[in-house]
């Protein structure tokens, strides 16, 4: 299609979900990784992580020869004429983004296109602070290629907005596409890739062309606003608890205002994951560096940090002293439908439970292999929900996977020593549990009634 062939550097959530989408839309796509087993498996149609529906779609594209993987960035770049940079940009200790992987692949791009004929478009998809694409990627690619941006190669910043747990849906049916372009020709090439994409109402997706720094900042602004909405609901959950008001009822009433919308107003034990904490920290660190105050974002980070301890307070108010108690801990990933445990709220909550003398029997359908390396605490990792619940003093919900939401009240009564559920994600209908004789407490619920 239009002669576009794509290489995607980085086979994480963004690189693989995006790469699968390009392949599905008819663009031959090669994704790269640094681990041989990931490449071998991908070429057999097996993704390196869990995302709903990803495996089947990846297998289809691999089988029809549209998607493949290699360890060799240079080879992938040389076989393509558009390269998306999708490597990680994790937090450094001061909160700023670690751009080491972006630098490394920019160098690979420069080396690879040095002796390559034809125009090549370089697109940053990783989340990077304003200025990174033009002041870091551009000079590195120019240095190692001996070529000129805007003439021999094009430069674009195309931020990604997918949600983990819904990465496939969001990659295939985005709300909008943002193309930050250094030169219009490069922007047009990226536009062609997305021109047939539809949103989930089957409408054409709005494609916004902006300057490159604006595209970089749009990503941070969007994530900061979403993190703020969650934090707002969390803060109100505490006020609600004092008055025995249901925060979900309050936020429903708030979210029905079309100017606000109901999304991301679900109170819980704080936001985690690989994006919100990292991106808000990065923008705060950047603002500090350039002398701009960010009291709102500072407060979002502070409120989010104390929310897990507020959840511990709810647990202690419900069951009293935690010494010697066994807790059935449900959900370790930072949210359901993903195996990702980066910045999961499960970690500070479990650490505090142990500090208070409790023991944890945990259950998660997918996340053990990513959670276990995070802590040496003697957590029991159970194969089934039933094993986690059996003879525990009470149950705590941190991440509400469907099978956790579907636990029957009778199961809780049969297996727990006392039928008590303390819900960090408001996964259950409190009245139904109450009627069945289960004690229900939760974030932003009428716990003192
Ligand atoms: N995960 C999300 O929900 C999400 C959403 C939007 C944007 N983003 C942003 O996209 C970027 C990638 O995020 P992710 O979640 O996919 O990260 P990830 O950690 O899942 O994947 C990044 C991948 O890049 C690979 N990599 C590192 N150096 C490499 C190199 N030199 N060559 C080839 N591969 C290399 C890593 O091995 C890793 O597999 C980040 O900047 C992130 O902030 C993430």
Looking at domain 5-205, its CATH class is alpha beta
Q: To which H or E segment does residue 83 belong?
A: strand 82-85
Predicted pLDDT at 2: 61
Q: 47: which 2 tokens?
A: 């993704």
* 199 has pLDDT over 60: yes
Which residue ranges make up each domain of the chain? 5-205, 225-442
CA angle 177, 179, 180 (to 5 degrees): 145
- Is residue 278 within 8 Å of 99, Cβ to Cβ? no
Mean pLDDT value of segment 343-372:
98
* 95 has pLDDT over 70: yes
Mean pLDDT value of segment 201-218:
97
pLDDT, mean over the chain: 97
**CB-based burial of residue 205 (10 Å sphere; 0-12 exposed, 13-18 middle, 19+ buried)?**
middle
Q: 141: which 2 tokens?
A: 């690619």
* Pairing between β-strand 153-157 and β-strand 120-124 as defined by DSSP bridges: parallel
Predicted pLDDT at 234: 98
Mean pLDDT value of segment 17-41:
98
Number of neighbours of residue 384 by Cβ within 10 angstroms: 11
In whole angstroms, what is the distance from residue 169 CA to residue 146 CA? 39
Predicted pLDDT at 121: 98
Predicted pLDDT at 281: 96
In whole angstroms, what is the distance from residue 431 CA to residue 447 CA? 12
In whole angstroms, what is the distance from residue 381 CA to residue 368 CA? 7
Query: Ligand 1 centre from 350 Cα, in Å?
Result: 27
From the list 255, 215, 200, the residue with the least C-alpha distance to 123 is 215
Q: List the 67-70 sheet strands across, edge first.
A: 67-70, 28-32, 5-9, 82-85, 120-124, 153-157, 177-181, 207-211
Question: Cα separations (Å) of 164 from 9, 221, 338?
Answer: 19, 18, 6
* pLDDT (tens digit per residue) in 140-187: 999 999 999 999 999 999 999 999 999 999 999 999 999 999 999 999
Mean pLDDT value of segment 41-70:
97
Helix (DSSP H) and strand (DSSP E) numbers for the chain: 19, 14
Catalytic site residue 240? Answer: no
Q: Which fold has domain 225-442?
A: Rossmann fold (3.40.50)
Using DSSP's 3-state secondary structure scheme, residue 69 falls into strand
- Within 66-99, where are the H helices? 73-78
Instruction: List, chain by chain if needed, residues with CB within 6 Å of any ligand 1 atom.
Output: 9-15, 32-34, 73, 86-89, 101, 104-105, 126-127, 160, 162, 164, 274-275
* 300 has pLDDT over 60: yes
Q: CA dihedral in degrees (133, 137, 138, 143; nearest 10)?
A: 170
Residue tagged active-site, from 86, 240, 269, 275: 275
From the list 323, 341, 321, the residue with the least C-alpha distance to 399 is 341
Predicted pLDDT at 1: 42
Q: CA dihedral in degrees (330, 333, 339, 342; nearest 10)?
A: -160
Number of neighbours of residue 150 by Cβ within 10 angstroms: 14
* Closest ligand 1 atom to 49 CA: 20
What are phi and psi for residue 326, nearest 5 degrees?
A: -105, 125
Mean pLDDT value of segment 382-395:
98
From the list 388, 332, 380, 386, the residue with the least C-alpha distance to 359 is 380
- Within 256-345, where are the H helices? 276-289, 295-319
Predicted pLDDT at 449: 84
In whole angstroms, what is the distance from residue 21 CA to residue 86 CA? 14
Query: Ligand 1 centre from 239 Cα, in Å?
Result: 38
Using DSSP's 3-state secondary structure scheme, residue 294 falls into coil
Mark residue 270 as left, alpha or beta (left: phi above 0; alpha: psi -120 to 50; beta: remaining).
left
To test the ligand 1 pocket, which listed residue (20, 47, 88) has its Cβ within 8 A of the most ligand atoms?
A: 88
């Amino acid at each position: 299609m239009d002669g576009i062939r794509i290489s995607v550097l980085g086979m994480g959530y963004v690189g693989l979900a995006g790469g699968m989408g390009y392949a599905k839309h008819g663009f031959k796509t090669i994704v790269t990784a640094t681990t041989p087993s990931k490449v071998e498996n991908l070429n057999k149609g097996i993704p390196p992580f869990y995302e709903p529906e990803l495996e089947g779609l990846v297998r289809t594209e691999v089988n029809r020869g549209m998607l493949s993987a290699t360890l060799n960035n240079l080879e992938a770049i040389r076989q393509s004429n558009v390269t998306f940079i999708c490597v990680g940009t994790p937090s450094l200790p001061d909160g700023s983004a670690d751009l080491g992987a972006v630098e490394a692949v920019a160098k690979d791009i420069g080396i690879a296109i040095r002796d390559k004929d034809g125009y090549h478009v370089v697109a940053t998809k990783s989340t990077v602070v304003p200025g990174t694409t033009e002041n870091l990627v551009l000079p590195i690619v120019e240095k190692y290629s001996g070529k000129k941006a805007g003439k021999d190669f094009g430069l674009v910043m195309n931020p990604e907005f997918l949600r983990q747990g819904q990465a496939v849906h969001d990659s295939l049916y985005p709300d909008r596409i943002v193309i930050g372009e250094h030169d219009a020709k490069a922007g047009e090439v990226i536009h062609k890739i997305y021109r047939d994409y539809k949103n989930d109402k089957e409408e054409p997706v709005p494609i916004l062309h902006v300057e490159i720094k604006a595209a970089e900042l749009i990503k941070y602004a969007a994530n900061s606003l979403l993190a703020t909405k969650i934090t707002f609901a969390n803060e109100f959950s505490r006020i609600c608890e004092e008055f025995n008001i249901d925060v979900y009822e309050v936020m429903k009433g708030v979210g029905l205002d079309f100017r606000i919308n109901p999304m991301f107003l679900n109170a819980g034990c704080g936001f985690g994951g690989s994006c919100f904490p990292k991106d808000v920290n990065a923008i705060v660190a950047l603002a500090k560096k350039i002398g701009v105050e960010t009291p709102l974002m500072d407060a979002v980070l502070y409120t989010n940090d104390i929310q897990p301890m507020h959840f511990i307070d709810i647990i202690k108010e419900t069951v009293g002293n935690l010494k010697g108690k066994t807790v059935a801990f449900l959900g370790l990933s930072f949210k359901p439908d993903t195996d990702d445990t980066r910045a999961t709220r499960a970690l500070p909550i479990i650490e505090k439970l142990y500090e208070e003398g409790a023991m944890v029997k945990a259950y998660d359908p997918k996340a053990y292999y990513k959670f276990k390396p995070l802590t040496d605490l003697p957590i029991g990792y159970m194969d089934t929900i039933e094993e986690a619940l059996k003879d525990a003093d009470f149950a705590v919900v941190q991440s509400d996977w469907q099978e956790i939401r579907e636990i029957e009240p009778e199961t809780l009564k049969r297996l727990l020593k006392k039928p008590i559920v303390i819900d960090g994600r408001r996964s259950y209908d409190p009245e139904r549990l109450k009627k069945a004789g289960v004690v229900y407490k939760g974030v932003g619920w009428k716990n003192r009634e």
